[in-house]
Structure 1
């Protein structure tokens, strides 16, 4: 902060002061324990490693949840959440604008490439089997550390080639599931449009959302899979695809509302 005594910078000063206190405190604790209590430091670091491993479920569950929503909608013909469509879309677009603003500032500050942003956002969908394997091995190492009194205070790898195979199989299942979701949703829309017009207007938004989300998953995961097999380049960035999906849903909702009125 260039002017630390300016009242407008009070919040930033508090954040910096808190970060400095935490950093100095942890560093002092590590130095103190390393000199006078190495066994206590080893014990603390082992439990920090275990805590890091067991935190993976919190990030993995969300990836599986959002991947399961499009097939669920196609099966049930309805959204799994009871949300107001216009409010949910408006808030989502607002969050997306904030995301674009933050990323644009980072790009101008550090020269961040759009392809790097796209590959990073794809990792949430691609790295699900890696996180699941990390959960399993983390629980195994935690059990060996706590119950069997083994030393797990070091980092180990759980197999590079096997990890690639798991990721490849996961992408195959994901792309196939999303492709079936698109086909089944399209068939349902055609059948309902011909046989039951009233029900068609009821399910057109959920099924359209399922198709758009499934296509977004395909566009985000097909290229990483092809890259793992034969190599390929990135084209459409996921954040732009997500923005187009939200805008299409908002326009479709307004069209249906105007038709009903």
Structure 2
């Protein structure tokens, strides 16, 4: 179900790009914008493990409870062992990154190990390993490329309207302005919907990896409460979607504009699972 939803959302994002390309920049403009966005996001995708870990000052560990839990999950589910990092932040949270299972990283903050039991930590790490196995970093990078291309098109159209040109003479200025405003918003909403869909998929597969969906459900309750009480400071908003619960959850964001599904719904789905 989540896979089909992602395919439909990616198709919708493609249609938005094609429509915006035709209205704002033509085929040539759309292709140029797509290439530019692709170059930027390819670099981010390829080096995501190094970039994000350095951003949050992660330290690799090869022993301790976090490493042992990840190793146990990988052995039990026949998964490739990723690198394991601990982040110095006190707010409990975790994420996974890396371009494929052979270059994957799972990371958790110091705070997460202070409030979760071993079983709950197992549920969280199962979720992160599911992101790796589902290639969610790749899917997110493709969605970001399409959304970025649409934003480029809107900027190109803005400059074209300012400086004029033959291509603008036959176009309705109000329609152009409307497209410049609406197309990036539509792309952003679809991109966020894709991110939410992938979270549901990681919850389901992660629960199976851990062997009990209640482990993750219990962990999500604690993580949501802790992040509302004391959200993570100095968070790069471009990486917020990677965490298991939004590190920005202290800010009241409408579900439509959130990269994460409502925790209550995630818990409801997990508790209704039967393995």
Same fold (TM over 0.5): no
Larger radius of gyration: 1
TM-score, normalization: structure 1? 0.25
Query: Which of the pair is proportionally richer in helix?
Result: 1
